[in-house]
Amino acid sequence: MTTVSVVESLRQQIATCETQLGYLRQQLAEAEHLQQQRRLRGEESVRRTTDYDPLAHDMSYGLSDDFRSEIFAALSHAEEEQQEQSVQRWPLDRTEYKRYGRQLIMPEIGLQGQLRLKNASVLIVGVGGLGCPAAAYLVGAGVGTVGLVDGDVVEESNLHRQILHSTPRIGMTKVDSARVALNSLNPNVRLISHPTRLSPESAIATFQPYDLVLDCTDTPASRYLISDTCVLLGKPLVSASALRTDGQLMVLNNPPRAKGDGSGGPCYRCVFPKPPPPESVVSCGDGGILGPVVGVMGVLQALEAIKVITAEQPGVNGNSVRPTPADSPSLLIFSAYANPMFRSIRLRARKPKCAACSTQASVTPDALNSGSLDYVQFCGSINPVNTLSANERISVDNYAKIRMEVNPFTGMEPSRDSHILVDVREKVQFDLCSLDGSINIPFSTVSSVLTKEASEVESKWASELRSHSDKPIFVLCRLGNDSQLTVKRMKELGLDNGGQRWIGDIKGGLRAWRENVDNDFPEY
Amino acid sequence: MSEEKRKDAVQVTVEFSGGLEMLFEHQRKLQISMAKKGEEVPNVAELVSHLCNDVMKDSRKDLFVLDGTVRPGILVLINDADWELEGEDQYELQEGDNILFVSTLHGG
Ligand SMILES: [Zn+2]
């Protein structure tokens, strides 16, 4: 780039930023005005930390995403204020008729449905891949109060699926980042921040003020905790999850009848009385996730929440036609690459001996509040793999020396060919980036069992390694766990020639390699 | 031939979802034939042990079966209904049944 074009580009960027600052200042003034109006109207003021303002954050740390929406938001505030004098004439504000018009004219919603949404409060636990789209649609639909629980901050690897967050807001708490986006989407919704991880001790107090809860979290422990709390407080729960190309959705504890009442909907413990073994639990970070897959599930959570909120209350005679929600509990399974993509499964009713929702329940408010229910222990955790002895392992620094340093006896020759480097990540990961000279034997291949017939014709990978019986084998993976298990497996197969050949793992895997040896090696 | 086959075996469709297909060489759908022992009709428990012992090539058996039954966190669905509604593992297989194994997901 020439100096002239650099100067010109900088001028343009400064001009753009100044314009944007102007818009933001205008929006801030409008927002402050609106806040003051709300206080005058005697509304409960929005709970927020005193030293934080999402608009101020955007001004100092990042640029707003969409000027047009900001301007419209500002304009709609002005319009709303004009309307406040004639507020009692119609059940909704004039701006609300306009904003929600497309759903108001549907018999499933209608005026009563919209008023129910407006009076409803929904708690969204987890503002990630599920929580972002769910929150966007509920705020867009005009749910009166939306609470957001999350203790994490926005990371770059979140952005392909967590649609409320944005590049300039990396490092901001997810709750604050979501507030900026949601406030811009619909400033009429009261947003409540809970910028901490949900704990058993805080769960009841956090859930108490809300009508309905969305489980948008990502661990078994939080799923049991959220379900138990909903059962104790009698709140319906919309639970979803997603991994790779699959998603699952359940509406639980709906209707939320008293403990032991078989006509109430099942809870998470009714469906899954025992937690899965921790080694079977795969996170999105390890297994991967396709953005639209988790997006679909979050959108469906918003849909189910709207259906629960706007459902005809029993004993109330409304004159609008509304389909009754499906009575029998079900699990919706989504598989992006199966045909058909959606499948609905009939689930069991409440379990007569459920630990949470039966008369024999051991989950009680006291047990929860006192912290005596240890959900993390209940679900277990994987201990870091540590199956090898010290002389079967090598640090990344020492391995780097083996790769790079010249052999002091033979002169210049690097010793890269002196050994075999086996990378046991799955092929798709190996293809993303790998160390020069490494060969790929995916862990899934290493783990597959040798049947009686197959053991005679030994697996190709094993016989190839056997054919170079003189060279030591270094095993590498992403984080350093699968590599240890592979070393064990290779020795079981006798690839070490009864201890003649060294086989060991590279400690900490490619993560340690990047941190200690080659900062350029991609992180994914 | 097929007439004869039907008399001493039950054909069922087995499907995997939620990542379990990875334990079965990435196959989402299998056709399984379960032999009858005289008059005795094979049940789901026998199907599960057949899948674990004879079909599954992955050595991580405890990701599918634990303590003699399907591990916690896997739902078994018989013709799109929770197996608890159908007698759990004692349910006797019928020709053409669809048995779906779903591992719960936790990501979000
Ligand atoms: Zn229950």
A242 and chain B: CB distance < 8 Å anywhere?
yes
Q: How many CB atoms lie within 10 A of CB A453?
A: 7
A50 pLDDT above the threshold of 50: no
Which residue of B28, B101, B106 is the best one to mutate when testing the A interface, meaning the one whose CB has the most A CBs within 10 A?
B106
**pLDDT tens digits, one per residue of A380-399:** 887 777 889 889 999 999 99
Tokens (6 digits) for A290: 């396709």
- In single-letter form, the type of residue at position A43 comes to E
Residue A280: per-residue pLDDT: 86
CA–CA distance, A268 with A223 (Å, rounded to integer): 8
Residue A323: per-residue pLDDT: 40
Q: In this predicted model, which residue has the larger pLDDT, A150 or A414?
A: A150
Residue A422 φ/ψ, nearest 5 degrees: -105, 120
The mean-pLDDT minimum among A84-93, A300-309, B9-18 falls in: A84-93
Residue pair A477/A424 in contact by the 8 Å Cβ criterion:
yes
Which of A220, A345, A447 comes nearest B81 by C-beta? A345
Residue pair A72/A274 in contact by the 8 Å Cβ criterion:
no
Residue A3: per-residue pLDDT: 62
Asked if residue A522 has a cis previous peptide bond (ω within 30° of 0), the answer is no
Asked if residue A384 has a cis previous peptide bond (ω within 30° of 0), the answer is no
**pLDDT tens digits, one per residue of B65-95:** 999 899 999 999 999 999 988 889 999 999 9
- Residues tagged in the binding site annotation of A for Zn(2+): 267, 270, 354, 357
CA–CA distance, A92 with A87 (Å, rounded to integer): 8
Q: Which of residues 444-473 of A touch B (CB under 8 A)?
A: 444, 447-449, 451
Q: What spacing in Å lies between the alpha carbon of A357 and ligand 1's midpoint? A: 4
When the pLDDT of each residue in chain A is averaged and rounded to a whole number, the result is 85
Which of B57, B73, B105 comes nearest A247 by C-beta? B105
The CATH homologous superfamily for domain A96-313+327-379 is NAD(P)-binding Rossmann-like Domain (3.40.50.720)
In terms of Cα–Cα distance, which of A152, A187, A191 is closest to A172? A152
pLDDT band at A98 (very low <50, low <70, confident <90, very high): very high
Contact A294 B82 (CB under 8 A): no
B72 and chain A: CB distance < 8 Å anywhere?
yes
Residue A455: per-residue pLDDT: 60
- Residues tagged in the binding site annotation of A for ATP: 129, 150, 157-161, 174, 218-219
CA–CA distance, A356 with A354 (Å, rounded to integer): 5
Tell me the domain boundaries of chain A.
96-313+327-379, 393-517
pLDDT band at A74 (very low <50, low <70, confident <90, very high): low
**Chain A residues within an 8 Å CB radius of B107:** 129, 218, 241-243, 282-284, 287, 289, 294
Tell me the domain boundaries of chain B.
2-103
**pLDDT tens digits, one per residue of A342-381:** 999 999 899 999 999 999 999 999 999 888 889 999 998 8
**pLDDT tens digits, one per residue of A280-320:** 888 888 889 999 999 999 999 999 999 999 996 654 444 43
B58 and chain A: CB distance < 8 Å anywhere?
yes
A318 and chain B: CB distance < 8 Å anywhere?
no
**For range A141-168, the mean pLDDT:** 97
Residue A313: per-residue pLDDT: 64
Three-state DSSP at A42 gives coil
CATH number of B2-103: 3.10.20.30
Supply the ipTM of this predicted assembly: 0.91
Q: In this predicted model, which residue has the larger pLDDT, A415 or A136?
A: A136
DSSP characters over A480-505: SSHHHHHHHHHHHTTTTTTTTS-EEE
For residue A105, the distance in angstroms to the closest alpha carbon of chain B comes to 33
Tokens (6 digits) for A440: 């790929």
Q: Does domain A393-517 have CATH number 3.40.250.10?
A: yes
- Helix A67-83 and helix A174-185, axial crossing angle in degrees, nearest 10: 60
